[in-house]
Amino acid sequence: MIDFKYYTPTEVIFGKDSEAKVAKLVKQYGGTKVLVHYGGQSARRSGLLDKVCELLQAEGIEYILLGGVVPNPRLSKVHEGITLCRKENVDFILAVGGGSVIDSSKAIAYGVGYDGDVWDFYSGKAKATSFVPLGTVLTIPAAGSEMSESSVITNEDGDIKKGYSNNISRPKFAIMNPERTFTLPPYQTAAGVTDIMMHMMERYFSHDGDMTVTDNLTESLLRTMKECVFAVLKNPEDYRNRAQIMWGGSLAHNGLTGCGREEDWATHEIEHELSGMFDVTHGAGLAAIWPSWARYVMKEDISRFVRFAVNVMDVENDFTDPEGTAIKGIEAMERFYHAIGMPINIHELIGHVVTDDEIKEMASKCTNNRTITQGRFKVLTAEDIEKIYTMAN
Ligand code: NZQ
Ligand code: ZN
């Protein structure tokens, strides 16, 4: 097990009607003028946004609203938020929504006290040192941004999607009411669970062989997500299973399942280029890439893929044929993706194949113009990444 630091400062308020505590929490963390940031329609349609505003008003907390965050949140909306926060002297940001709204909020929070363009953080030019305190009311379990240190923004100038990680961006609190996820469409539910599972798999496929606690914890969480998703696809108002998924989504990405090991993240980086170019749902994009990534890298350590096949995907271990067992595990994952309505390749994802030129462009963007590599389980060059896109096409 390698040395690690586990830092998870977010206060979690979980359960039915938990949003009732929102105004008190904003006050507790020093908010006096709040930007309430939200997405398209869902938070307004469900009445959640009105409820949050009423609670803030009742507590005597001033607020302003900024909606319109789209999935794969855009830099232009972030700029709009920064300008608004400065003009209105906002001292607290409240994200009401999913990963896209939370990430847009994080980017605004970095930008308010920064003289340059906030994109500098995402392009790697600068490191953020200030952050407006942030709280979240989560409506979709998926990205894990409610407890994570990362955010991902798309710059419309060049369709470049980049992530930035910094511990100062971990939210002060996360309000999670599983009932608020009853309205999720099946596709978003399934893409969310795919993303949650991938946040663990990006950490699970690692070379360190001595991490039993983290491995067993991860396998148990992966199996739980796999089981619960079918129940909520059948009955969207199944509180018990919505709750497991919601809490599992936070544990998957708050650092816990990475303790003591080297993380990979290649599938995410490869997917971000697909989202950037084709504006696809992040979780579905991951499902389209992972099987090809897995087949491309598995020989780096077959025993890891055998363990995954047996302990997570219920494949029988054929001790005479480790490679065969590993492949059966990947095939079982593909069957699982199909069973929940996810694609397993790019043409299933976007309805057509991508061209060789598009593959080259995505591989270049993914490696900062072929200057860096991705992944750790197998270190991938731009050429490797092109091969994975081609296999996944
Ligand atoms: O915009 P509205 O109308 O709210 O609709 C949203 C959106 O269309 C809808 N939705 C959300 N809650 C709902 C609901 N519909 C009905 N009922 C509800 N309760 O769902 C759609 C997707 O929302 P979004 O916020 O985009 O989903 P998600 O949480 O999957 O976030 C995706 C973004 O997070 C990034 C992804 O790259 C992507 O941009 N990620 C962020 C990470 C992080 N910050 O740590 C890590 C992840 O790996 C990921 O990369
Ligand atoms: Zn993700």
Mapping DSSP onto H, E and C, the string for 144-168 reads CCCCCCEEEEEECCCCEEEEEECHH
Question: Is there a single domain that holds both residue 252 and residue 386?
Answer: yes
Choosing from 145, 181, 189, 271 the residue with most ligand 1 atoms within 8 A of its CB, the one to mutate for a pocket test is 145
Cα separation of the two ends of the chain: 37
Domain end position, chosen among 146, 180, 214: 180
Which ligand 1 atom sits nearest the alpha carbon of residue 69?
Answer: 1
The count of domains in the chain is 2
Q: Is residue 148 part of a domain?
A: yes
Q: Is residue 202 part of a domain?
A: yes
Question: Is there a single domain that holds both residue 237 and residue 368?
Answer: yes
Dihedral (C-alpha) 222, 95, 74, 246: value to the nearest 10 degrees?
10
Which ligand 1 atom sits nearest the alpha carbon of residue 48?
Answer: 19
Question: Is there a single domain that holds both residue 160 and residue 176?
Answer: yes
Q: Is residue 58 part of a domain?
A: yes
Domain end position, chosen among 147, 180, 213: 180
Asked if 146 and 192 touch (Cβ cutoff 8 Å), the reply is: no
Question: Is there a single domain that holds both residue 208 and residue 350?
Answer: yes
Smallest CA separation from ligand 1 atom 41, residue: 143
Q: How many A from CA of 284 to the centre of ligand 2?
A: 10
Asked if 254 and 147 touch (Cβ cutoff 8 Å), the reply is: yes
d(CA 70, CA 278): 14
Ligand (nearest to CA of 194): 2
The pLDDT of residue 208 is 79
Which ligand 1 atom sits nearest the alpha carbon of residue 73?
Answer: 39
Q: Is residue 1 part of a domain?
A: no
pLDDT tens, residue order, the chain (393 aa) = 999 999 999 999 999 999 999 999 999 999 999 999 999 999 999 999 999 999 999 999 999 999 999 999 999 999 999 999 999 999 999 999 999 999 999 999 999 999 999 999 999 999 999 999 999 999 999 999 999 999 999 999 988 999 999 999 999 999 999 999 999 999 999 999 999 999 999 999 999 778 899 999 999 999 999 999 999 999 999 999 999 999 999 999 999 999 999 999 999 999 999 999 999 999 999 999 999 999 999 999 999 999 999 999 999 999 999 999 999 999 999 999 999 999 999 999 999 999 999 999 999 999 999 999 999 999 999 999 999 999 999
Asked if 247 and 193 touch (Cβ cutoff 8 Å), the reply is: no
Question: Is there a single domain that holds both residue 248 and residue 358?
Answer: yes
In terms of DSSP bridges, do strands 62-66 and 33-38 run parallel, antiparallel, or are they unpaired? parallel
In terms of DSSP bridges, do strands 150-155 and 134-138 run parallel, antiparallel, or are they unpaired? unpaired
Q: With a 6 A CB cut-off, is 139 part of the ligand 1 pocket? A: yes
d(CA 215, CA 210): 9
d(CA 213, CA 227): 21
d(CA 106, CA 169): 6
Question: Is there a single domain that holds both residue 351 and residue 214?
Answer: yes
Q: With a 6 A CB cut-off, is 148 part of the ligand 1 pocket? A: yes
Ligand (nearest to CA of 196): 2
Question: Is there a single domain that holds both residue 56 and residue 36?
Answer: yes
3-state helix, strand, coil in the chain (%, to 5): 55, 10, 35
Smallest CA separation from ligand 1 atom 48, residue: 143
**Nearest-10 crossing angle of helices 282-297, 322-339:** 170
Question: Is there a single domain that holds both residue 81 and residue 200?
Answer: no
Domain end position, chosen among 131, 159, 180: 180
Q: How many A from CA of 162 to the centre of ligand 2?
A: 12
Q: How many A from CA of 141 to the centre of ligand 1?
A: 8
Q: With a 6 A CB cut-off, is 184 part of the ligand 1 pocket? A: yes
- Residue 111: which CATH number? 3.40.50.1970
Q: With a 6 A CB cut-off, is 250 part of the ligand 1 pocket? A: no
Asked if 202 and 270 touch (Cβ cutoff 8 Å), the reply is: no
Question: Is there a single domain that holds both residue 159 and residue 209?
Answer: no
Which ligand 1 atom sits nearest the alpha carbon of residue 98?
Answer: 25
Smallest CA separation from ligand 1 atom 38, residue: 72
Question: Is there a single domain that holds both residue 137 and residue 260?
Answer: no
Largest Cα span, the chain: 69
d(CA 124, CA 208): 28
Burial string for 107-138 (b: 16+ CB within 10 Å, else e) reads bbbbbbebeebbbbbbeeebebeebbbbbbbb
Structural domain for 340, as ranges: 183-392
Whole-model pTM: value is 0.98
Asked if 187 and 341 touch (Cβ cutoff 8 Å), the reply is: yes
Question: Is there a single domain that holds both residue 210 and residue 313?
Answer: yes
Cα 353 to chain centroid, rounded: 25
- Residue 360: which CATH number? 1.20.1090.10
d(CA 120, CA 305): 38
d(CA 334, CA 340): 10
Ligand (nearest to CA of 198): 2
